[in-house]
């Protein structure tokens, strides 16, 4: 039978609106891929693409078109010559510049299927022992400080041990001060600006140094490594890059320029888990801590991210919260925090998540099947 790739666009209602400096989401529009190889073995992947190009240059319709017009035609000749493995698929797509989200979606679904073919859990393929992963919670921008404090109190009650506050011009020093005053100096706390500031704001941002933050994430535009390096050079709050790092080259350049004290690795953003692993390795070798970023993943992306975060360089808690922080119902198993504020990666083959076809039907707004080959 020919291998197939199904692209499902889902609309997943969020339990609470998620607002950042870039805008607000109440429903997560998400693209997932189901790859079925020529022996009927199925793997799933999830894209971080949004409905519009907001955080990343790519977006859902663009990713779909790139897959249909550019990537699948590259894979079809491969299918005739044997099973579609991650190695062959990755090599075939390697000449395509950019388009990390599109390439990563295919690569990830093929990886899950290949691991299942070998009955190998992802953590074993990574070569790291499965262990509970310390995770944090990312708190959107509410209307006022009281709401913020009640949200943070609720998340601490739920068991989260690290809090990330979204900040934006006009919503920075005051929320950080309020959270420190309410919950103390020992709470591991970090902030994420999603590119909302410019180098002219460096004096303002250095005032955050007084609050003992773990890091400040992506304060400046993604291309502006110069401003990130200038802030990092002050040796105050560690500077973390997210949107600036779309590839291994980006990560190496940022480290070389002193623009990244920390790197947020979002697998989809960099083109999948193989590149994520390479970025992890380079960061580890250079003494740059990493954490696993999140984009409100479904069970598919959450499971794979948890496994990735077992690698030794992931020394900071990830943006990989429990399912209930985002969704009342998911397309696969729910993940729950343990008493230490950790989540455990699944133990089954591949990413270890069985996707619920009824949930794909329920949340699906568009589905299309492509034959590969």
Q: Which residues here bind ligand NPG, judged by CB under 6 A?
A: 20, 48, 50, 55, 138, 192, 194, 242, 293-297, 319, 321
Considering the complex, what minimum distance in angstroms separates the CB of residue 193 from ligand NPG?
Answer: 9
Q: How far is the CB of 261 from ligand NPG (least distance, A)?
A: 17
The residue written with tokens 């093929």 in the block is: 110
DSSP annotation of 324: G
Measure the CA–CA gap between 179 and 189, rounded to whole angstroms.
9
Query: In angstroms, what is the minimal distance from the CB of 342 to ligand NPG?
Result: 15
Q: Which residue of the chain is nearest ligand NPG when measured via CB?
A: 294
The strand pairing partners of 265, in sequence order, are 292
Whether 22 is catalytic is: no
* List 116, 134, 222, 266, catalytic entry: 266
- Single out the residue of 230, 238, 178 nearest to residue 213, CA to CA: 238
Give the phi and the psi of residue 266 in degrees, each rounded to 5: -110, 110
Minimum distance, C-beta of residue 89 to ligand NPG, in the bound complex (Å) = 25
CB of 62 to ligand NPG, least distance (A): 15
- Among candidate residues 9, 64, 166, 280, the one labeled active-site is 166
Identity of the residue, 163 or 311, whose beta carbon is nearer to ligand NPG in the bound complex: 163
Q: Which DSSP letter does residue 197 get?
A: B
Question: Would residue 164 show up in a list of annotated catalytic residues for this protein?
Answer: no
- Using CB atoms within 10 A of its CB, is residue 330 exposed (0-12), middle (13-18) or buried (19+)? buried
Which residue, among 322, 300, 310, 228, has the nearest Cα to 276 in the 3D structure?
A: 310
Please check whether residue 160 is in contact with residue 321, taking contact to mean a CB–CB distance below 8 angstroms.
yes
Could you tell me the end-to-end alpha-carbon distance of the chain, in angstroms, rounded to an integer? Answer: 10
| Nearby residues of 115 by Cβ (< 8 Å), 6 or more positions away | 43, 121, 122, 125, 349, 350, 351
| Minimum CB distance to ligand NPG, residue 4 (Å) | 28
Q: How far is the CB of 22 from ligand NPG (least distance, A)?
A: 8
Q: 133, 179, 140: which is closest to 156 by C-alpha?
A: 179
**Phi-psi map region of 85: left, alpha, beta (phi>0 left; psi -120 to 50 alpha):** beta
By C-alpha distance, which of 278, 285, 279 is closest to 263?
279
Radius of gyration of the chain (CA): 20
Nearer to ligand NPG, 265 or 372 (CB): 265
C-beta closer to ligand NPG: residue 114 or 190: 190
Residue 301 or 349 with smaller CB distance to ligand NPG: 301
Closer Cβ to ligand NPG, 109 or 292, answer by number: 292
- Closer residue to ligand NPG, CB minimum distance, 36 or 167: 167
CA distances from 262 to 288, 292, 314, 342 (A): 5, 11, 10, 21
Residue 293 vs 349, nearer CB to ligand NPG: 293
CA-CA-CA-CA dihedral for 279, 283, 289, 295, to nearest 10: -10
Q: Which residues are catalytic?
A: 166, 266
């Amino acid at each position: 039978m020919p291998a197939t790739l199904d692209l499902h666009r889902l609309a997943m209602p969020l339990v609470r609106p998620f607002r950042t400096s870039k805008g607000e989401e109440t429903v997560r529009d998400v693209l997932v891929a189901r790859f079925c190889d020529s022996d009927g073995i199925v793997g799933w992947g999830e894209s971080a693409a949004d409905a519009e190009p907001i955080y990343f240059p790519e977006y859902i319709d663009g990713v779909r078109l790139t897959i249909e017009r550019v990537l699948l035609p590259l894979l079809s000749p491969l299918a005739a010559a044997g099973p579609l493995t991650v190695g062959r698929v990755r090599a075939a797509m390697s000449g395509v510049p950019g388009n990390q989200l599109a390439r990563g979606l295919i690569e990830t679904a093929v990886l899950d299927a290949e691991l299942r073919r070998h009955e190998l859990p992802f953590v074993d393929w990574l070569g790291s022992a499965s262990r509970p992963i310390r995770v944090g919670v990312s708190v959107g921008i509410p209307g006022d400080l009281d709401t913020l404090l009640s949200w943070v109190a609720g998340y601490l009650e739920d068991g989260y041990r690290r809090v990330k506050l979204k900040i934006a011009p006009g919503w920075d020093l005051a929320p950080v001060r309020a959270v420190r005053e309410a919950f103390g100096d020992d709470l591991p706390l970090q902030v994420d600006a999603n590119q909302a500031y410019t180098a002219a704001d460096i004096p303002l941002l250095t005032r955050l140094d007084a609050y003992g933050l773990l890091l400040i994430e992506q304060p400046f535009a993604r291309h502006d490594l110069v401003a990130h390096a200038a802030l990092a050079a002050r040796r105050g709050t560690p500077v973390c890059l997210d949107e600036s790092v779309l590839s291994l080259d980006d990560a190496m350049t940022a480290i070389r320029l002193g623009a990244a004290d920390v790197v947020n690795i979002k697998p989809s953003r960099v083109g999948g888990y193989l590149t994520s692993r390479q970025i992890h390795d380079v960061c580890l070798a250079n003494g740059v801590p990493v954490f696993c970023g999140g984009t409100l993943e479904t069970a598919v992306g959450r499971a794979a991210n948890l496994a990735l975060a077992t690698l030794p360089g992931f020394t900071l808690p990830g943006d990989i919260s429990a399912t209930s922080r985002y969704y009342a119902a998911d397309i696969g198993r729910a993940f729950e925090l343990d008493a230490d504020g950790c989540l455990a990666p699944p133990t089954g083959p591949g990413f270890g998540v069985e996707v619920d076809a009824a949930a794909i039907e329920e949340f699906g707004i568009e589905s299309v099947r492509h034959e590969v080959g």
